Amino acid sequence: MGIWARVSILGTLAFCVHQKRVALAELRREKTQYSSDRHQLELKLVQVIFRHGARTPLRPIPKAEQVEWHPTLLEVPAQTQFDYTVTDLSGGPKPHSPYEDQYKKTTLKGGVIAGQLTKVGMQQMFELGERLRRSYVEKINFLSPVFKPSEVFVRSTNIVRNLESTRCLLAGLFQQHKEGPITIVTDEASTEILYPNYQNCQRLKHLSRGKMESVLLQPGISDDLKMIREEMGIDSEKPVDFFLLLDNIFAEQIHDLPSCPVLKNFLKTIERRSIDSMIYLLEHNSREVLQMCVGPLLYAVHENIMKAIDPSSPATEARKLILYAAHDVTLIPLLMALGIFDHKWPPYAADVTVELYQHQQSKEWFAHLSYHGEEQLVRGCRAELCPLEEFLNALSHYAVSPEEYSVLCSQMDKNQTNS
């Protein structure tokens, strides 16, 4: 290579480095500008999507030694009491919950039912409510100190642990004070958008068909599962996967119950392989799969923002807080879609909080997102305090309207048509 070619390459590299420094400096200036202007920002809307509090396992591990789940674990702390009613989305009677029917079929050793919110979980949710109170009642006086139906919209999946988690959160947030009834709206299981809905979305069901079996055959996952099975003395014919192991060890540890020594020793492996399994099931962050999993929820978040910016009625204008009670299987694809998944299983009572701000002078709009109380840089945003256009653009990549969701879920490929 001639000397001038080398000089040219070095010059090009130097120019690239210079441009990168300029871009980084510009980004730092913008971040500093946004940070210094924060005192001029007016909070307009808060949306919180949260996982329920700690619960009993969904299913016991099929082994001889079972952990005892005593009914005292379900006692309700007095400070979490708060009366509420549940309706469907139209204000009609509470829909039937097939999931609760399923949980009632499993009684754990000690006499409690599977999948139930515990005293520990209730306290976790109460503390999340207290954290929200500190942020939005005491610190900036955004919400009223008592619950007002005009200010707060509450939606939950139709599962008791989520309804009860919401009750505890509201009790902590409003210290059991209210002006008007608390209504939690929910939907039929078949059309729920607060978790990936394999009943309602036939294409999602088709794509996932067989994946739960094939994930157990993946290199690494298969070997580790076989090793843990053997260490625990679990028969190879009994249905066990990493989700079951993680569910039990997390539940046992949060309640200070004696876990199997093998589970304790392999906790990190179990969590890592559970994440690997989930990523495999979600087809390695496939846009189409994420759209079908959380697209309708992201669309709802987007629509709530647009209504807050241009309210069409006094009722819409009065709305300040929107709560969505969801699940770990909601949060994982949601975090993936936002580009902030940390490859850790969402803990009980984890929350994704989206704040909408308007600058009092420039009238510009901004969004700010936090996960489990820590602010996050959403993919596609130049700063944690994200210009709204950038934030909505990030959402639009995965958000789908009800009509788009219907089309997406009904798409058939040749293999599916012929099957």
Among candidate residues 247, 255, 327, 328, the one labeled active-site is: 328
Among candidate residues 52, 255, 327, 368, the one labeled active-site is: 52
Q: Which two structure tokens, joined as six digits, stand for 221?
A: 């996952």
How is residue 145 annotated by DSSP? S
Torsion of CA 166, 170, 176, 181, to 10 degrees: -80
CA–CA gap between residue 20 and residue 339 (Å, rounded): 22
CB atoms within 10 A of CB 145: 13
Contact assessment for residue 163 and residue 53, using Cβ atoms and an 8 Å cutoff: no
- Catalytic site residue 52? yes
Contact assessment for residue 325 and residue 166, using Cβ atoms and an 8 Å cutoff: yes
Q: Which two structure tokens, joined as six digits, stand for 363?
A: 């009238």
SS3 annotation, the chain: CCHHHHHHHHHHHHHHHHHHHHHHHHHHHHHHHHHHCHHHEEEEEEEEEEECCCECCCCCCCCCCCCCCCHHHHCCCHHHCCCCEEEECCCCCCCCCHHHHHHCCCECCCCCECCCECHHHHHHHHHHHHHHHHHHHHCCCCCCCCECCCCEEEEECCCHHHHHHHHHHHHHHHCCCECCCCEEEECCHHHCCCCCCCCCCHHHHHHHCCHHHHHHHCCCHHHHHHHHHHHHCCCCCCCCCHHHHHHHHHHHHHCCCCCCHHHHHCHHHHHHHHHHHHHHHCCCCCHHHHHHHHHHHHHHHHHHHHHHHCCCCHHHHHCCEEEEEECHHHHHHHHHHHCCCCCCCCCCCCEEEEEEEEECCCCCEEEEEEECCEECCCCCCCCCEEEHHHHHHHHHCCCCCHHHHHHHHHCCCHHHHHC
- Catalytic site residue 368? no
**Catalytically annotated residues:** 52, 328
